[in-house]
Every structure is written in structure tokens, then in C-alpha cells.
Amino acid sequence: MNEQAVQPEVGTTTGLTQWQRVVFTFTATSKTFEDIKRGNRSWWMPYLIMIVIGYIFFAAVTTKIGWNQVAQNAIHMDQKAEERLQQAPPEQRETTMKITRYSMQGGFAASPILVLIVVALASLVLWGTINFAFGGKAQFGSIFAVWMYGSLPGVIKTLLGTVVVYAGMAPESFNINNFAPTNLGAFMNPLDTNPALYKLAPPSTSQRSGAWCFCRLGLQLSPASSAVRATSPSSDGGRSSPSVQWDGQPSWASSKRSKTKRRASQDARRIV
């Protein structure tokens, strides 16, 4: 038997599975993004996780709180909106409540489509910025996958909110804008608390993890794009101007190294 046929290919790297990518998003983010850089641009697993957990939370709110109550709470927590509603005629009041309820309920129900639209638009902006503003060579599919995995920490808050709702939260105290008890603001009454103090409440765990992952997203867009901008001659005698390079180094650094090498070779030839 030919030994060459049996020997594995040298230098090949096995890609991560979808579940490994999900786990590494929370534990070793660079591994997930490096896998995307190698060309594995599949994004359906984080998308499905976000949609499934979102619909579980949607079912919890529908069965335990009720969207009429959600709309009433949202208006009650806005003093100006509540005053306008009380001064409005009964028919207008009922119409306002219906619009508020249907807009909130419809937004959650249409989350699969909304998520795709938001991620696609954000990825398009990043793709145009990298390729045209910085002269890179990023691919839209890579940025789309990076954004999907970068959004995963948001499910932490949704899971915590689902647990709280099913645990018996009072419907009158449910706040759609802060439904998970992961910060001090969740234990404050927006009507009795100073607005500035309420907004300055420490961020939740999910918000901190989300900020962390999006910082990592920004750092890892560089290897995911695999783009390097070539130095372009400027009007100052042909010297290269500093520009952004997606390998993490400015262009003048590589230009300086090349000049140093040329001088060293010239000195060596003179000595010989």
C-alpha cells in the first residue's frame, strides 16, 4: 500500500463544530473568530439559539404577564405618556393602548426577521468601512458570522428574565425595558427614583458580557477580514504615508523595516 495515501495532509486544520464555536464565544473568543477567518462562515447556530430563547421569553410574558399588562406598565412608567393618556378621550385612549400592545407584541413575534435585518445592515456598514474607508479586503459573510456570534451574550439576560417571570413575578411590576434582576435598576421603581440615578444604575451582567464580546468583536474583525492595506505613495517625494493595516501594524512600520534591510545589504556590499 502506498504510504503517501495513508499519511494525513500536513498543515491542515480541522474546523470547529457549531457547538464548539458557541462555547468558545464565551470562553475563548479568539478561537471562534479564527475559525471564521479560515472560511467557516456558518452563522445559523447562534441565530437559532437567540431565536429559540427569545420565543421562550415571549411565551413566558404572554402566559404569565399578558401584553395588555405589559403595555399598561410601559405607559405607567412614563409619567408624561400617562398624563397624556388620562387627558385623552376614551376612544383615543383605547386606540393608544392597542397600538402600544400590538407594537410590543409584534416586535417580539417578528424577532427572527428583525434580527436578520439588523445584523445584515450592521455587517454591511462594517464591510463598507473596512473595504472602502480603510482599503481592506473583508468579506461580508465573515463579518455577518462574527456579528452573530458577538451577539450571543445577549441571551444571558433573556434567560434570566424568563426564569424570573416563571418564578412568579408580579405582573404589575414587570418592566419590559429592564426585565432581568441583574442590576440595581431592576429593584428600583422608575416613578419613585430620580431619573438620573436610575440611569446610572450599574450595568447588568449581560450588559457587561455583551460589551466585552463586542469589544472582542472589534478586535477580531481584523483577523476575520484578512485584509492588509498596501502603502500608497504620497506627494512628499514618494515616501509612504501611514495607513491602517489589518495585521495590527501601521504601514510605516513595515516600510521602515524594509528601508533598514536595504541599508544593511548596501553596507554589506560596500564591505565586500
pLDDT tens-digit profile of 230-272?
334 444 444 444 333 444 444 444 455 555 666 666 665 665 5
Residue type, 207: Q
Residues 55 and 74 in one domain: yes
pLDDT tens-digit profile of 27-81?
888 888 888 888 888 899 999 999 999 999 999 999 999 999 999 888 887 778 8
* Residue at grid coordinates 429593584: 187
Q: What is the largest CA-CA distance in the chain?
A: 99
Residues 60 and 191 in one domain: yes
- Does the structure show a pLDDT above 90 at 163? yes
pLDDT tens-digit profile of 89-114?
888 888 988 998 999 999 989 999 99
Residues 240 and 217 in one domain: no
**Rounded Cα–Cα distance for residues 215 and 195 (Å):** 28
Residues 259 and 157 in one domain: no
Split into its structural domains, the chain has a count of: 2
Query: Within a domain: residue 7?
Result: no
241: containing domain: 236-272
Query: Within a domain: residue 9?
Result: no
Residues 46-79 as b/e (b if ≥16 CB within 10 A, e otherwise) read: bbebbeebbeebbebbeebbebebbbbbbbebee
Residues 90 and 119 in one domain: yes
Residues 240 and 151 in one domain: no
Query: Within a domain: residue 6?
Result: no
Query: Within a domain: residue 72?
Result: yes
Query: Within a domain: residue 219?
Result: yes
Residues 98 and 205 in one domain: yes
- Does the structure show a pLDDT above 80 at 119? yes
Which of 151 and 206 is assigned the larger pLDDT?
151
pTM of the model: 0.68
- HEC sequence for 131-158: HHHCCCCCCHHHHHHHHHHHCCCHHHHH
Confidence category of residue 117, pLDDT binned at 50, 70, 90? very high
Show Cβ contacts of residue 125 under 8 Å, excluding neighbours closer than 6 positions. none
Residues 178 and 244 in one domain: no
Residues 247 and 222 in one domain: no
